Amino acid sequence: MDAREKIEILDALRRSRQSFLHALNGVTEGLAATSPGANRWSVLQCAEHVAVSEGYLFSLIMQATDADVPVVNKSKEALILARGADRSRPSISPEAVRPTGRFSTLADAVQHFLASRDHPLRAGLC
């Protein structure tokens, strides 16, 4: 991954970060803890998933080394973008980032989302 790719990815994550925080604005703790149905995640569980996933993604991006020759797999990249943008069908989250009750409140999940000292957006890396 070259520096330009890192900046592009971090910029996209920064934009999505604002959308995430905006979506949670005004959600009460009671509503956040309520599941919309069987096998459906509550807002709190979704926030936990996003907070943990984003931390994981940032760590991968920051650990990525610059490549002399970019690794390009256009079909794989297109598939990832299409699947990531399509929220109409459920997908199974990797075990490591599934909600497990790490946070007892929505406020705790948001605090975790924002608090990382290594957060590239807070450190001005993008």
Q: Please write the tens of the pLDDT for every residue from 8-66.
A: 777 877 788 888 999 999 999 999 999 999 989 999 999 999 999 888 877 777 777 66
**97 within 8 A of 56, measured Cβ to Cβ:** yes
Show the tokens assigned to 3.
């520096």
Show the tokens assigned to 114.
């924002």
Q: Which residue has the higher pLDDT, 101 or 114?
A: 101
Token pair 């920051």 is found at 62
Other C-beta atoms closer than 10 Å to the C-beta of 13 total 18
Q: Please write the tens of the pLDDT for every residue from 94-112.
A: 898 999 999 999 999 999 9
Report in angstroms the alpha-carbon separations of 92 from 42, 63, 103, 122: 16, 25, 21, 30
**111 within 8 A of 105, measured Cβ to Cβ:** no
**1 within 8 A of 67, measured Cβ to Cβ:** yes
Domain ranges of the chain: 3-115
Question: Looking at residue 95, what DSSP letter applies?
Answer: G
